[in-house]
Amino acid sequence: MELKLYNTMTRQIESFKPIHDKEVGMYCCGPTVYNYAHIGNLRTYIFEDVLKRALFLAGYSVKHVMNITDVGHLTGDGDDGEDKLEKSARESGRSVWDIADFYTKAFFEDYDSLNIIRPDVVCKATEHIPQMIALIKRLEEKGYTYTADGNVYFSIDAFPEYGKLAKLKLDELKSGARIDIDTNKRNPKDFVLWFTKSKFENQAMMWDSPWGRGYPGWHIECSAMSMHYLGESFDIHCGGIDAIPVHHTNEIAQSEAATGKKWVNYWLHGEFLLTEKGKMSKSSGEFLTLSLLKEKGYDPLDYRYFCLGAHYRSQLQFSFEGLSAARAARLSLKERVKALGNDVPEVRLQSKYIDEFESYICDDLSMSRALSVLWAVLKDNELRNCMKLYLVRYFDRVLGLDLEKEDEESSGSDKEAELQELLKERTEAKKNKDWARADEIRAKISEAGYSVKDTPEGPVLVRNV
Ligand code: AMP
Ligand code: ZN
């Protein structure tokens, strides 16, 4: 199995070759824990999980490191805006530490319920301040920094390769940049490595440093922690595409300026989940969480299936209709798998289906095509059940859909499928202005213990509690 992956750095599909024979170092930017993760964020973590599982299938071992951004940080991607954790603490009356702790736990509940394999190392920014200070010192010694009004800045003009990931054109940037509110910056794209001048009174998270008491800039944590756990050069760095122009660009500048070496060989980025209004984002305040989907009667794995239906480099439009279709498909898969019995050959088998499945996985993680192979297996009348079960298990190692796990909802799947059909009929009736039929269907659905909620993303079935 030779994995081919799209590398954002070269904008090309490349054959994957790790630095150390069979061991892969992978760093994924983790959550900022001042609020719940939204399902857009979770799409990115599902993509990273599929990548990791594909690496396992290809015979690699993976050291997966993920940070938890529990140091405040600002509402803007640059150095402007309000401190997110402080804002959340002020609004809820809790301490910043409590908030970070609470949302970290909530994050991992989502993570586990989506069947995402936990990272080998989960590192909190607040527990790695010495590593960040050491890295900033290294940059200072090499002449990449300047201090102005108490803050330490990275000077991008000292690093000629700045912007190579995002293919930024620096001359245009300089002339076209908006006036930054921070007049200390020599170049508008310079960024803060260490703050001692907080814009906020009573900033709660502060540490001593050679530059005075303060706190680190946002980007330095990922450079410091990834190198601490994976070494100065490693294989894969992932995140959402929004990280390319600022966060990952600045991470590269700091890391490569400090070591003088190439830092990361493969950059992989997941595309956005969209709502009707555009990109789902935390700062806009309007977003869907996994708990909300659960309240509406969906299983987290319905959402995982929904995400597998689109390529990770394509934008994905969320809709409850799409999610319901994913749910119906997943439950139908489970019923089919259940009917296969328990016998499975002990030996490693060859099959054209395995070749096909692997070829899609290797083709930059084409998960929707890989899923279609699973369906083809289950619908193949020539194939014996034990062989089918073997293939299901083999494929599920990457899909992560837990297809053999018993859960209470599969028994209700027929009923739900029927209700979904009714819901479609109701939408049709409404379209044709047949209000009587639409009301009749609503009543039927209600009798079955469900209600219909009309949302901007279309009508959804909600289980009554
Ligand atoms: P955050 O917790 O905001 O730092 O984001 C966590 C991860 O989710 C990052 O890798 C982001 O790039 C990614 N992300 C943010 N918004 C979306 C979205 N709408 N769709 C997919 N991924 C996203
Ligand atoms: Zn990062």
pLDDT in tens, 222-262: 999 999 999 999 999 999 999 999 999 999 999 999 999 99
Among the atoms of ligand 1, which is closest to the Cα of residue 30? 6
CATH value at residue 236: 3.40.50.620
CA of 25 to the centre of ligand 1 (A): 21
Task: Indicate if 153 and 20 belong to the same structural domain.
Answer: yes
Ligand with smallest separation from the Cα of 242: 1
Alpha carbons 243 and 264: distance in angstroms, whole number: 15
Tell whether 314 is covered by a domain.
Answer: no
pLDDT of residue 244: 96
Task: Indicate if 94 and 218 belong to the same structural domain.
Answer: yes
Task: Indicate if 231 and 154 belong to the same structural domain.
Answer: yes
Confidence of residue 285 (pLDDT cuts 50, 70, 90): low
Mean pLDDT of 326-330: 94
Q: What is the 3-state secondary structure (H, E, C) of the chain?
A: CCCEEEECCCCEEEECCCCECCEEEEEECCCECCCCCCHHHHHHHHHHHHHHHHHHHCCCEEEEEEEEECCCCECCCCCCCCEHHHHHHHHHCCCHHHHHHHHHHHHHHHHHHCCCCCCCEEEEHHHCHHHHHHHHHHHHHCCCEEEECCEEEECHHHCCCCCCCCCCCHHHHHHHCCCCCCCCCCCCCCEEEEECCCCCCCCCCCECCCCCCEEECCCHHHHHHHHHHHCCCEEEEEEEHHHHHHHHHHHHHHHHHHHCCCCEEEEEEECCEEECCEECCCCCCCCCCHHHHHHCCCCHHHHHHHHHCCCCCCCEECCHHHHHHHHHHHHHHHHHHHCCCCCCCCCCCCCHHHHHHHHHHHECCCHHHHHHHHHHHHHCCCCCHHHHHHHHHHHHHHHCCCCCCCCHHHHHHHHHHHHHHHHHHHHHHHHCCCHHHHHHHHHHHHHCCEEEEEECCEEEEEECC
* Residue ranges making up the domain that contains 375: 319-399
Task: Indicate if 334 and 241 belong to the same structural domain.
Answer: no
Q: Whose CA is nearest to atom 14 of ligand 1?
A: 41
Among the atoms of ligand 1, which is closest to the Cα of residue 32? 2
Tell whether 303 is covered by a domain.
Answer: no
Confidence of residue 281 (pLDDT cuts 50, 70, 90): confident
Task: Indicate if 261 and 324 belong to the same structural domain.
Answer: no
pLDDT of residue 345: 83
Residue 79 has pLDDT above 80, yes or no: no
pLDDT of residue 257: 98
CATH value at residue 361: 1.20.120.640
Alpha carbons 136 and 83: distance in angstroms, whole number: 22
How many structural domains does the chain have? 3
Task: Indicate if 427 and 344 belong to the same structural domain.
Answer: no
* Better pLDDT: 285 or 312: 312
Global pTM reads 0.87
pLDDT of residue 116: 98
Task: Indicate if 389 and 444 belong to the same structural domain.
Answer: no
Tell whether 18 is covered by a domain.
Answer: yes
Task: Indicate if 24 and 152 belong to the same structural domain.
Answer: yes
21, 20, 16: which is closest to 6 by C-alpha? 16
Task: Indicate if 374 and 268 belong to the same structural domain.
Answer: no
- Near ion ligand 2, which residues have CB within 5 Å? 29, 222
Tell whether 306 is covered by a domain.
Answer: no
Residue entry with tokens 């969906």: 298
pLDDT in tens, 336-372: 999 999 998 888 888 999 999 999 999 999 999 999 9
Alpha carbons 105 and 108: distance in angstroms, whole number: 5
Task: Indicate if 270 and 327 belong to the same structural domain.
Answer: no
Mean pLDDT of 271-290: 81
Tell whether 373 is covered by a domain.
Answer: yes
Among residues 399, 424, 442, the one where a domain terminates is 399
Tell whether 220 is covered by a domain.
Answer: yes
Residue 181 has pLDDT above 80, yes or no: no
Task: Indicate if 194 and 341 belong to the same structural domain.
Answer: no
Tell whether 312 is covered by a domain.
Answer: no
Among residues 237, 253, 274, the one where a domain terminates is 274
Task: Indicate if 390 and 422 belong to the same structural domain.
Answer: no
pLDDT of residue 68: 96
Q: Which residues of 133-167 are buried (b: 16+ CB within 10 A; e: fewer)?
A: bebbbebbeeebbbeeeebbbbbbebbeebbebbe
Question: Ligand 1 pocket: which of 88, 242, 282, 316 to mutate (most atoms <8 Å of CB)?
Answer: 242
pLDDT in tens, 290-322: 999 999 999 999 999 999 999 999 999 999 999
> Across-strand partners of 266?
236
